[in-house]
Chains A and B, each alone.
Chain A
Amino acid sequence: MDKRAIFAIFMLVLIFAVIFVYEWGGAWKGYKTTLEKTDTITAELLKEESIPIYMLIIVTIIQYIKQSWLCLLLAFIAAGALQEFVPKDKLIKLMGSGRGPVPYLIGGVGGPMLSMCSCSIIPIFGGLYRRGAGLGPSLTFLLVAPAFNPAAVLLTLALLGWKFTVARIIFAMLAGVTVGFITEKIMKDKIPAPKSIHIEEEIPGSEEKQGYVKRIINMFLYSWEFVKLVLPLILLGVLFAGLIKAFLPPAFIVKYLGVGILPIMLASAIGVLMYAPSLVEAPLVRGLLESGMGTGASMAHLITGPALSLPSILGVCKIVSPKIPVVYTTLMWICGVIAGLVFWFLVPTFVVS
């Protein structure tokens, strides 16, 4: 392993350690965690019946931002570190070689390291598939990467708490690997082998060796780029959450997205089809949860929502035979339903203290 990789791992461990100390260290000492502290604000406000609707929206926005700014800051730094220090081409080569479970594992675990921006996932999927990484592992990458990147994980932790975060990571990995594996088994004999492509390597020497100081500066530059890219989207998500809380009557949400198997199936299907920019799903689901969405339905939506959308399915159709998206979309919907049911069983209610 080269120095770059060791440094990247060290940075990530450090970042995650800081978060865990902050979130759980506080809880051990008997302090309220950020999650508990900020929730009391809306709880108190909601008791007064006559607050105007625009206040509810503004309070929601302020509350969500207060609650997630620290995690977001760390997420941006982590994103920059991944961009600068992870040897992406090596990971891709590793995925392309080998048979058995190894490519799936790299697709599931390494996926989040490869791409931060959801729009760049389809080209990487196409490249992996055409380079002979196998349909299964490529699909695993396509499905797991958006759900499991550090920014999404940290934002889920800040807004939905650790139970949702842990469950989301585990279910997303399991669903991605299962769907990839089954799709490959079903489609193996039905599709022609992919037309392989000539790979143009970047001209050597364009990326000369740089010192660590320079690279850390680069890391922060990437972080800043990421802030510009993602922050408007998150604000949009938070605004939507506020609008949901203000205008969608809780009775309506409880009826269609509340507790039970049908809401879970519906939430999973909405997740499959709806396009939401990455990272919007966490504030959105939080807003829906506060208005009466069931925990199972929320988890189903978190599993299928970021992984799939109609535009992404259409994009994939251009690269592979359209039968494949039909198969993996259906399988992913089923996985979303299963994840929702299991999570509903384990965590029946979302606690806002």
Chain B
Amino acid sequence: MTMTATAGHAHADPHHIGVVIEHPGPAPKRIVTAYGFWIFLLSDIVMFSCFFAAYAVLVGQTADGPKGSEIFEQGNVAIETVCLLLSSFTCGMASIAADVRNRFWFYLGMAVTCVLGLIFLVLEFREFADLIVRGYGPSRSAFLTAFFSLVGCHGLHVSAGVLWLLTMTAQVFAKGFRADILRRMMCFALFWHALDIIWVAVFSVVYLLGSGT
């Protein structure tokens, strides 16, 4: 055994840089769960960044098809944006209600969030359907490919969010405000707000910048 030879090296923090604050131990579950989900959100944002990069690279490749300024409808986008913004707010209200265990306001907040999310999805679906009917589907040009994928990817996330919202509300209905359900509610709120942030990038980069010349 070589223990005796080097045991002297094993002393606490040999470098003595300032005062060492002892790590207090594992974090509570609420922090662990939310942090893990936060990391997931960041990875999701990196995934979106690839679609943004593809959009930025392919935006000029219209293959003699329509340009952005010819197909984007600002009014539609503005309504979509307001829907998502308001739903972010009502989602915040629902999470406050969940924290203070107020079922009425929780259900109301979630219901409004859900309705606003659905309105957003319907509007987006109509926009897509209209474009496809006019022959401007994603196969028309690389620009439209990138546009449909980026906006559609966000739309898929919103759809998944609505499904999650419904599942979780049902769970609160069945089980009440249990600790693990509250943790999920917190993750859901993070998810919904993050989707809104991505939408800010989408409407700024795709619709507003794309509408210019």
Q: Do A and B come from one complex?
A: no
- Which A residues are closer than 8 A to B by beta carbons? none
- Which B residues are closer than 8 A to A by beta carbons? none
